[in-house]
Structure 1
Amino acid sequence: MTAGTEEPLADSRNVPALLAALRNRRRSCSVVVTGTPGGSIHVRDGLVVAMETPGAPGIEGLLLRSGRIGEQAWSAVRASDTTHEHLAAELVDRGLVGAGELEVISLGALFDAAFALSLAVPDSWEVTAPVPVLYRNAGVTPERLLGEVSRRINSLATEPGSVAALARTRMRPVPTAHLPEPADRLPARHRAVLAAADGRRTARDIAFALGRGLFAVMIDLRHLLDLGLVRPHTPSPNGRPSTAARVAPSAVTPSAPDSASLPRRLPGRNSAPAHRPHD
């Protein structure tokens, strides 16, 4: 019997129910979620301490892309801890980032990943042994995690499905001649997002390029949309997925149907029939 099917985990209808069961059992493990975007949920003594997903930047991306830590310093930290079990302590001990700041970044990355995972239904999940992961926080309960995801979705939603649609839509700037107001009056973070919205990048791409959280970028994109400064880019007929580079433009200085739950699954080990994304 594998970890993904042992009782009472086999009765978990979705990942939130699974996390609640892990909380009750004070388990330490990783939950591997497959699908788009998919990712990993890291649990210690029943509390969620970190999530990793291609759908949102993690701690490493936030530190490096924003320029908070240089590539050389980061490589030195990783080389000093080949097991990657003490990366957070190394970052603090070397004075590269303060303990309090790293805790804020760690929690922010955790909530952002949970938000990204909530925007689509996974193909499957499986509970595995715990693996080392970069984090610096005491862990959060599944209830707190879901509450934060719900708050973020509600703050962005304009109609059913609008949050997931905004996350996957490529944005482009409105031609200068048609701008309702000068873009140079915008705050620096809005100008950075506007410069990165080149018609090829989704909110996810912009977040990776600028080293900012997905939710924060989507809030700024919603504001730019309301101001009439950006508009959705019409996709090409072949419908190819976004391949925009995850790098900030040189001119920029870094500075589904909606769901309030984490990815859902059907009972069983880890496979589920195809679903239409939540709205």
Structure 2
Amino acid sequence: MPLSAASRPGGAGLDFARVLMEVPHGRLSGTLLVTGDPGGRFHLENGVILEVTSPGSPGVETLLLRSGRVTETDWASAVRSGAAGWRVGAELVARELVGSAELQLICAMAALDGALAMGMGRIDRVALDPEPPATCFAAPEGIEPEWLSRESERRIRALGGQPVSPFRDRLSRTDAGTRLLDDGIAGERRDILQRANGRRSSRDIAFLLGRGLYAVTVEASRLLHEGLVDVAPPALGAADGPAPAPEYGRNPEPTGQPGRTEEASRLPRRRPGTSGITGVLPLRPVSGPWRPPTALTAEDRRFGSAQ
């Protein structure tokens, strides 16, 4: 069931937003395919979102493995299990390697980041494949499309006014940032500063750390305001291009071809309103059975109100 491709700027983005609004009311099932840069997929079942994936943000697999919540050995065993099939997440829960509530939260975080990446990128076409989705990490309680749309739109607005693009800008540690590292700073700030080598964007660092795209970009914006990181100048002759997602276990390190490295680490500059999504959103308040814990949005709400 293909939807109309964009015949004018923002046309496909408007289709995208309208479909998300209709998902719970039409009880849609299948896979909503978003073609663009970076693009992505929404896996739907009876009006509820099960999983969102995009090459523009870390997925559930990256969040679980990079963060150390699940070991590579346990992961490989769950994938090999005949009982798991495509539902790797369900197998991890059955083996008590991840709690059901924890998987729900991680799925929601990954879904928010995936929708954020698609919304901040370019949307060319939207199509609904009615075949049952083959999801690896179905959120145990599902994710309400209205809540996801509203939260994604709020995050897009928050990041749209910040000086750091999650895809385009490569972060470089300043002398002040280096001194802070030498002083023994700990936590997420240390992790980001260590990887701000002038070749990586917030998206690249999020993949390396196994942390959310939005959370890393928010912290990068704070570090920039404090003079601890800077935005590295673009390489001469480098052009914006699509950025494929790094595979787990393969760091997006330089390959000896600087131009290609820069192109692979950035996505096109987003101009507010290009996708057309914000012309339809925000949506009605969520009314589904699952509500995200306060901790999921409290920190970035403080960030948004502080800017």
TM-score range, shorter chain: 0.7 to 0.9
Task: Summarize deviations over 1:230-256 as a string: whole Å, max 9, x none.
Answer: 10111111215579975399xxxxxx1
From 247, 251, 259, the counterpart of 2:251: 247
Instruction: Within 5 Å, give how 1:94-173 maps onto structure 2.
Output: 94-128=95-129, 129-133=131-135, 134-158=137-161, 162=163, 165-173=165-173
- 1:216 to 1:182, Cα distance in 2 relative to 1, 3 A: same
Structure 1 residues 221 and 64: CA distance shift in structure 2, 3 A: same
CA distance in 1, matches of 2:275, 2:138: 22
- Looking at structure 1, the residues matched to 245 and 231 of structure 2 have their Cα atoms a distance apart, in angstroms, of 15
**TM-score computed with the length of structure 2 as normaliser:** 0.71
Aligned match of 1:272: none
Alpha-carbon contact 1:146-1:262 (below 8 Å) kept: no
Distance 1:180 1:212, change over 3 A: closer
Letter of the 1:103 counterpart: Q
Partner of 1:15: 16
TM-score when scaled to structure 1?
A: 0.78
**What is the CA RMSD across the aligned residues, in angstroms?**
3.1
The answer to which of 199-208 and 131-140 deviates more is 131-140
State yes or no: 1:200 paired with 2:202.
no
Which shifted more, 232-241 or 78-87? 78-87
One-letter identity of the residue aligned with 2:134: P
Which structure 1 residue ranges, 5 or more long, are not aligned? 250-255, 265-279
Q: How does 1:167-246 map to 2 (within 5 A)?
A: 167-174=167-174, 176=175, 178-179=176-177, 182-183=180-181, 184=183, 186-240=185-239
Distance 1:206 1:63 in 2: 15
Q: Are the aligned partners of 1:16 and 1:142 in contact in 2 as well (CA < 8 Å)?
A: no
| CA-to-aligned-CA distance 1:250-278 (integer Å, 9 cap, x gap) | xxxxxx134597869xxxxxxxxxxxxxx
Residue aligned with 2:69, SS: coil
Contact 2:167 2:201 in 1 (8 A): yes
Local SS of the residue matching 1:123? strand
Cα deviation, 1:96-127, whole Å, max 9, x if unaligned, reads 11121111111111111111111022121211
| Structure 1 residues 59-105: Cα deviation after superposition (integer angstroms, max 9, x where no partner) | 00101111221222111111114773432221012121112111111
1:40 aligned to 2:41?
yes
1:244 and 1:21 map into 2 onto residues whose CA distance is 29
CA deviations on 1:132-181 (whole Å, 9 max, x unpaired) are: 1112232233321121112323443436xx56x3432111101x3x5596
Using the TM superposition, give the Cα deviation of residue 207 of structure 1 relative to its aligned residue in structure 2, in angstroms. Answer: 0.6
Name the CA distance, whole Å, in 2 between partners of 1:81 and 1:115: 34
- Cα gap change, 1:64/1:101 in structure 2, threshold over 3 Å: closer, same or farther? same
Mapped to 1, the partners of 2:276 and 2:110 lie a distance apart of: 15
Cα distance in 2 between the residues matched to 1:243 and 1:85 = 22
Corresponding residue number in structure 2 for 1:274: none
Q: CA 1:166–1:214 in 2, change beyond 3 Å: closer, same or farther?
A: closer
Report the alpha carbon displacement of residue 186 of structure 1 after superposing the two structures with TM.
4.0
**AA at the equivalent of 2:152:** V
| Unpaired stretches in structure 2, ≥5 consecutive residues | 5-11, 254-269, 279-307
1 CA distance for matches of 2:143 and 2:236?
44
Shift of 1:18: 1.3
2:68 paired residue number: 67
CA distance in 2, matches of 1:169, 1:192: 18
